[in-house]
Structure 1
Amino acid sequence: MTVPSEPSVGIGWLSVAFGLANASIGVGVLNYPSAYDKVGGIAIAEYMQLIIVAIIMFSMFVLIYCADISKGNTYHEVLSNICGKRAEIVVAVDICLATYGICIAYLVTIGDQYDRIFMSYFGDNFCQNWYLDRRFTITVTSLFIAPLCYLKQLDFLRHTGPLGIVSMLYVVILTIYQHYALDDVKRGTIKTSPESFSSLLSVIPVMCFGYQCNEVVIPIYASMRNRRIKNYFKAAFIAWTTLIFLYGTVGYFGYTTFGSLVLPDIIQMFNARDPFVMIGVCALIFKMAITYPQMSFVGRGSFVGVYGILTKQSANDLEKREKCRRFIISSLWFASTLFFGIFAPDIGLVIEILGTLSVLNVFMFPSACLICLVKRTDLRLSLLVKSLFVITAIILSSVGIGALALVSYQIYVDIGSISQETKTLLCSL
């Protein structure tokens, strides 16, 4: 994207708000009731969300402030201009890993939805039939997704964005509906405090994953009709207010309905015999299937970008063997994500891993930008402003490092303590 040269060109701030909300909301919403349980209850979860959103908005404004200074129009450009070429490589790798993990999450979610349907109609032992096993259903569905991953452009999928919003909104409505419709549901305990301080901090990456969209912040900002931080603030305020309402609604009603028994994917708690649930399940399968190629496309582009930088090849050089490279990368990407998607224990673990990358985007990269701004001599920042930048960077990076360490330990613990109930439901052996 480029900065509009005329005031009449570009998108308005309301469109920006929709774009930010659409980029943020996704598979993470399915995991929010489980996050409420981990963090220690509704009140603490709501406070945590407000704090995380405040930090994310601050980091976002650091990035667009840097975009104004560097005149960059993409995440890569801004980090490269502010922090150097190495930062551009790190960002490209981060985006590549994030999109790779999201593709895995989509396949896991597809398997979860099939499990929900089959369990509702065939009972707990449905996985004894090989053709109902998630390893088979994910593989078959992915065969319809695979051809789209080899295309050079995905322009025909650009109109599917609203479907993602509608699908996630349906999850919100469905969670409320199930809260009042289920009378004989087995409910767990409702926590009022976290089990430990580490469990409290371990949810930070999960919530960061649900709200952050730093990769698209700068391109969207560059496409604004009136590129001003004030206008962007209005759009961001509306977007994140909407997201807080949506995530908070799913978290509250999902957690109060099932309590500590809630599974990492809230849809797994519903009965697919209910037509309203079946519609939501089918919509999620379709949404994940059409979004996977788009994430694969972005990840492939980031991978090629890193490859070009490391091998010092120009765009023309990369274009010469583009078809062969696209086939190899797409094949390896699809096959490996399918493997991990089949054998991943549950969506909660995948989101925790993805959350570690979100921590980098929210805490570490903006901190690096603040430090680099202090070192610049052309900005003429006062000593007070420089001191505030350094102190803020130290605080953000310290929280980020602490959260990364804790969530890494939590991932290790979760891998070794997947509950038997989840194993049975996901047909794991």
Structure 2
Amino acid sequence: MLVIGFDCICCIICLPHIFFSILGTLAACYLMLVIVVKYYLRTDHVVLYEHHLSPGVYSWTSMFSVIPTICFGFQCHEACIAIYSSMSNKKLSHWVVVSVMSMLFCCLIYSLTGLYGYLTFGADVAADILMSYPGNDVVVIIARLLFGISIITIYPIVLLLGRSVLQDICLSSKHSNALTREPYEKWTRILLTTAWIVVTLIIALCVPDISKVISVIGGISAFFIFIFPGIYYLFIYNIYILCFSPRRGLRAHHRAHIWQTFNAKPSQFGCQSICSTAVVGWKQWSAE
């Protein structure tokens, strides 16, 4: 089965990346329509929305439980780089229009899917909403098949980007001159790709609940959203002040530090809360 899967990936990777995005969009639209139609075709609309809820769900700190999912969605946007490279019109204005329309479209799909999924199942809704429906439903089976194909097609893009990062780390070592040679560079790509696929398969087999993976990855990626941009801005701003305005550099330097410190403290608290929530949820799931 693995050989067949790898052969399929090798065949479809030759297609333009824009077709992968279209396929994923169609799968998401189909799932949204299925959930909405299933809700209105139900014969029993009595759903208990409050059972199985923890006593502290109404606490103000419970709002941090949804942030890892948002951060995970932000972390998945690196695939847009490969999609942008497949576009024929690479003007900035065109890319802005495409990005804004895509975000609005995603917001509509996610909002309707989450709303009607919760209205249908209440608190019993699964992290993977397809798991909440019967396994013998043909319409749901088609949705699962479409999402499976979509994941298979988008997986090479994410693998390529992740492998590029790991390869850059390997090439920055003291043995980088030897690794840049053609035979070693080829084997480096093969080893990194194989390791990436094996780790992915192990996680998929050992962790059946995808919400736990999303929470942990979302907690880690929160640093890329809240902490690192401020650090990079401070570093670039200091270089600009010292190079182009040395007389006002000290005063501007202090203002930049105060501003970044003011922004970093709430961000640090948010990241710690996100990571703590993810780790606590992971431990509770492991204990179960």
TM-score range, shorter chain: 0.7 to 0.9
**CA deviation vs aligned residue, 1:226-247 (integer Å, no higher than 9, x gap):** 446xx76555433322222222
CA contact (8 A) 2:220 2:275 kept: no
| Residue 44 of structure 2 is aligned to residue 188 of structure 1 | no
Q: Could you tell me which residue of structure 2 aligns to residue 403 of structure 1?
A: 270
Q: Which runs of 5+ in 2 are unaligned?
A: none
1:177 paired with 2:44, answer: no
Larger Rg: 2
Give 1:285 deviation, angstroms: 1.6
The aligned residue for residue 105 of structure 1 is none
Query: After superposition, where does 1:269-348 map in structure 2 within 5 Å?
Result: 269-311=132-174, 313=176, 317-348=180-211
* CA gap 1:147/1:216 in 2 versus in 1, 3 angstroms: closer
1:372 matches 2:235: yes
Pairwise mapping of residues 128-139 of structure 1 onto structure 2 (< 5 A)? none
Distance 1:337 1:390, change over 3 A: same
Deviation by residue 1:270-321 (Cα, 9 ceiling, x = unmatched): 2243332221111112222232233222222221111101236259825331
Q: Hey, what's the Cα distance between the residues in 1 that align with 2:195 and 2:157?
A: 16
Q: How many residues align?
A: 276
1:214/1:361 contact within 8 Å kept = no
Structure 1 residue aligned with 2:123, among 260, 265, 282?
A: 260
1:156 match: 15
Instruction: Measure the CA separation in 2 of the matches of 1:396 and 1:338.
Output: 39
Change in Cα spacing, 1:318 to 1:194, as seen in structure 2 (3 Å) is farther
1:205 aligns with 2:72: no
Q: Which residue of 2 aligns with 1:99?
A: none
Tell me how far apart the structure 1 counterparts of residues 227 and 20 of structure 2 sit (CA, whole Å): 32
Note closer, same or farther for the CA distance 1:335–1:213 as it changes in structure 2 (3 Å cut): closer
Q: Is the 8 A contact 1:371 1:393 kept in 2?
A: yes
CA distance in 2 between partners of 1:386 and 1:171 (Å): 51
- TM-score, L = length of structure 1: 0.55
Structure-2-length-normalised TM-score: 0.78
1:124 paired residue number: none
Could you tell me how far apart the structure 1 residues matched to 2:46 and 2:90 are?
A: 52
Separation in structure 2 between the aligned mates of residue 166 and residue 390 of structure 1, nearest angstrom: 46
Contact 1:145/1:292 (CA < 8 Å) preserved in 2?
Answer: no
1:400–1:301 Cα change, 3 Å: same
- Match of residue 225, structure 2, among 362, 376, 400: 362
Higher relative contact order (CA 8 A, sep 6+): 1
SS at match of 2:227: helix
In structure 2, do the counterparts of structure 1 residues 172 and 389 end up closer, same or farther at CA, with 3 Å as the change threshold? Answer: farther
- Contact kept, 8 Å, 1:178 with 1:270, in 2: the verdict is no
Contact preservation (8 Å) 2:216, 2:279 = no
